[in-house]
Amino acid sequence: MSELIETAVLSDNALLREGITQLLNGARFRVSQRSASLDLHRHEHGQKSPDLFIVVIDDMSCSIVGDIKRQFKSAKIVALALRGSRELMHRAVQLGAVGYLVESVSAHDLIMSLEVVIANGAVFPPELLSQLSEVAVAPQRLLQGAQRRADGSPFSGLSGREVSILEGLMLGESNKVIARKLEIAEATVKVHVKAILRKLRVRNRTQAAMWAMQNAANQIPVVAEDDAADEEKTLPMIAARPEAAASPRLS
């Protein structure tokens, strides 16, 4: 039997709280707390802390993500936005969310997304990720271009190995996959990831990947059309690829 995941649903809309709870009924996400955002700190003594928070946000209430992260440092946070917005997604990630979904998500895709998050992945709508940069190119080309302009580049403080690992983070690869690809120990990858987070002054892998996409796009040099034609013109969805969980397609 699958392990039950203690889940909290936060929204100032009672109908939304009940609706999300019903959607999760029968899945392994046991909703043990349902409350309005302002009730976050009314946590009963002795009650098990939630492993997962699903919080409904808009421009005015996004700050609750940071409040949750400060109080429940090890919990996973998925933000459910009332409208899709690149700026709102970016802010939610900065505050500690590892998932960002819009209200049009289906029940099936919601549950799949939560499974990815619990498996240490991160899930975001690809249509919003594609807006992070006006230059849609493969992550390898982004980082190689940034490295060629190392003087004054935000990447200048990273070693070559750290840049290679950052490429993996941009693709949502796990430490195991990155280690296999680079032919190094998984423990070595973990050490490098910690160093990357410290140098970039970000909290988690997802923030590092988004930072890299944004900063690399600003640093990329002009390339010849012949060279550019060989490159893949897509941005990856930031989603972990654990063996037991597939990345959902969100609409």
What is residue 98's predicted lDDT score, i.e. its pLDDT?
86
Mean pLDDT of the chain: 75
Architecture of domain 5-124: 3-Layer(aba) Sandwich (3.40)
Report the range out of 1-10, 31-40, 81-90 with the highest average pLDDT. 1-10
Between CA 175 and CA 70 the distance in angstroms is: 26
Within the chain, all domains assigned CATH 3.40.50.2300 are found at 5-124, 134-229
Pairing of strands 76-81, 29-35: unpaired
C-alpha 105 chain-centroid distance: 17
The pLDDT assigned to 221 comes to 38
Task: Identify the H or E element spanning 101.
Answer: strand 99-102
> How far is it, in rounded angstroms, from Cα 137 to Cα 7?
37
Task: Count Cβ atoms below 10 Å from residue 58 Cβ, excluding itself.
Answer: 12
Q: Which of 10-14, 17-21, 169-173 has the lowest mean pLDDT?
A: 169-173
* 134-229 CATH, one of 3.40.1350.10, 3.40.50.620, 3.40.50.2300, 3.40.50.2000: 3.40.50.2300
Q: Specify the range with the lowest mean pLDDT, choosing from 61-65, 179-183, 205-209.
A: 205-209
Which pLDDT belongs to residue 171?
Answer: 74
pLDDT tens profile 212-246: 776 664 444 333 333 333 333 333 334 433 333 33
Residues of the chain with pLDDT > 90: what percent? Answer: 27
> How far are the Cα atoms of 3, 21, 23, 32 from residue 29, in angstroms, in the given order?
9, 9, 10, 9
pLDDT in tens, 169-194: 877 788 999 999 999 999 999 999 99
pLDDT for res 179: 94
* Length of the chain in terms of residues written: 251
> What mean pLDDT do residues 142-163 have?
68
What pTM did the predictor assign?
0.60
pLDDT at res. 180: 93
pLDDT at 48: 79
229: nearest Cα among 137, 161, 156: 137
pLDDT above 70 covers a percentage of the chain that reads 69
Structure confidence at residue 134 (pLDDT): 39
Higher pLDDT: 140 or 77? It is: 77
